[in-house]
């Protein structure tokens, strides 16, 4: 019998985070979907440009049935959707008279490990944010979190309970192989290596993540890529990531957009980098790189 060689199957969701944060980010995500390679986006229910983004999302979905919109659950930065009294353990002391979430991930994680975050409040706020998307006429295809807060088990489990109760079928797998990039050709060498080391430590949660997701009956990918290069993405790094995607189904996490005056009012380290990411994601070279590697683009609706 002749053995037949088959090409490895590699599928990729390219998801734009922070949909609804500002009008400039909304415009960038539209362009990245219509002129580029973005197949999915996650919408922030508590953001200033949420209503505009919801209208845009309904239009994009009408034009392209494959395009998917999920809920980018925010438990850090900004204000909760629920009244502050309902989610007191999630709020940071001295932040907006005690009505805002903690701003820093390390403060959030420390509070979680000290047992100061109430799981029922995480579940309630996550539920409220999902319901706000649904009330705007959108059916969330998946769920993830701002700053990947759900990589920590004490956040993941109440988030999964909310997703299951709201019939959201999938969740981002924030873990993935940290590929050994040839950093000698890149400018931010130290910061990329530092970020790589941090992600390597957090990878210890990956196996528990998959067990919890399976136990709650949700779907997920084999992992996320692009997290390491967030804020540094250029065409060279994009090509290097694409060239090293292993067999399976993966999610590329990206943050396209425009740096406008609204973004200057938002606490984020991602400003000029958003426009650079948009250039990469809408370039002919990006699509050519995916085709050259035989990678099939899909959305969360096809997971």
Instruction: Please tell me the least confidently modeled range out of 195-199, 208-212, 267-271.
Output: 195-199
H or E element, residue 240: helix 235-243
pLDDT at 198 over 70: no
pLDDT score, position 6: 54
Domain 10-302 sits in which CATH superfamily? Glycoside hydrolase/deacetylase (3.20.20.370)
* Residue 69 to residues 43, 132, 176, 190, Cα–Cα distance (Å): 7, 13, 22, 34
CA dist list (Å): 300 to 38, 65, 176, 220, 246: 12, 11, 17, 9, 19
**E-state strands within 157-295:** 224-225, 248-254
Mean pLDDT across 222-229? 85
**Cα distance between the two ends of the chain:** 34
Q: Residue 227: its pLDDT value, please?
A: 80
- Higher per-residue pLDDT: 149 or 205: 149
Is the pLDDT reported for residue 16 higher than 60? yes
Mean pLDDT of 194-208: 61
The answer to whether 133 touches 45, Cβ cutoff 8 Å, is yes
- pLDDT confidence tier of residue 224, bands split at 50, 70 and 90: very high
Count of all residues that appear for the chain in the document:
303
The contacts of residue 206 (CB under 8 Å, 6+ apart) are 175, 223
Mean pLDDT value across residues 140-144: 98
Model confidence at 204: pLDDT above 70: no
Whether the pLDDT of residue 18 is over 80: the answer is: yes
Q: What is the pLDDT of residue 203?
A: 62
Average pLDDT over residues 25-38: 97
pLDDT tops 70 at residue 136:
yes
pLDDT above 50: residue 83: yes
Quickly count: other Cβ atoms within 10 Å of residue 117's Cβ. 21
Q: Domain boundaries in the chain?
A: 10-302
Calpha distance 243→7 (Å, rounded): 15
Closest CA to 211 of 249, 156, 253, 148: 156
Confidence at residue 219, expressed as pLDDT on a 0 to 100 scale: 98
DSSP 201-226: HHGGGHHHHHHHHHHTT-B--S-EES
Tell me the average pLDDT across 175-201.
52
Q: 229: which residues sit within 8 A by CB, 6+ positions away?
A: 181, 192, 237, 241
* β-sheet bridge partners, residue 16: 41, 254
| Chain segment 252-292, per-residue pLDDT in tens | 999 999 999 989 888 888 889 999 999 999 999 999 999 99
Residue 182 pLDDT:
45
d(CA 212, CA 63): 35
Report the b/e string of 141-151 with b at 16+ CB within 10 A: bbbbbbbbbbb
Question: pLDDT for 100-133, tens place per residue?
Answer: 999 888 899 899 889 999 999 999 999 999 999 9
Confidence of residue 166 (pLDDT cuts 50, 70, 90): very high
């Amino acid at each position: 019998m002749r053995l037949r060689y088959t090409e490895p199957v590699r599928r990729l969701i390219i998801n734009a985070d922070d949909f609804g944060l500002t009008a400039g980010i909304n415009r960038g995500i539209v362009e990245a979907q219509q002129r580029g390679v973005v197949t999915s986006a996650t919408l922030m229910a508590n953001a200033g440009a949420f209503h505009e983004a919801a209208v845009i999302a309904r239009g994009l979905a009408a034009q392209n049935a494959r395009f998917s919109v999920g809920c980018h659950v925010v438990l850090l930065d900004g204000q909760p959707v629920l009244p502050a009294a309902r989610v007191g353990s999630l709020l940071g002391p001295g932040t907006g008279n005690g009505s805002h979430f903690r701003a820093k991930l390390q403060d959030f994680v420390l509070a979680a490990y000290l047992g100061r975050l109430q799981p029922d409040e995480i579940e309630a706020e996550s539920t409220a944010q999902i319901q706000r998307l649904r009330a705007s006429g959108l059916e969330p295809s998946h769920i993830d979190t701002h700053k990947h807060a759900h990589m920590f088990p004490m956040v993941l489990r109440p988030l999964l309970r909310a997703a299951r109760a709201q019939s959201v079928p999938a969740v981002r797998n924030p873990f993935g192989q940290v590929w050994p990039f040839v950093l000698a050709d890149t400018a931010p060498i130290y910061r990329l290596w530092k970020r790589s080391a941090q992600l390597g430590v957090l990878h210890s949660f990956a196996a528990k993540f998959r067990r919890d997701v399976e136990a709650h009956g949700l779907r997920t990918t084999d992992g996320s890529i692009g997290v390491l290069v967030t804020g540094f993405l250029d065409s060279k790094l994009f090509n290097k990531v694409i060239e090293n995607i292993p067999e399976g189904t993966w999610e590329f996490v990206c943050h396209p957009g425009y740096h406008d005056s609204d973004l200057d009012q938002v606490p984020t380290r991602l400003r000029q980098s958003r426009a650079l990411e948009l250039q990469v994601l809408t370039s002919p070279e990006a699509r050519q790189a995916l085709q050259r590697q035989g990678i099939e683009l899909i959305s969360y609706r096809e997971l």
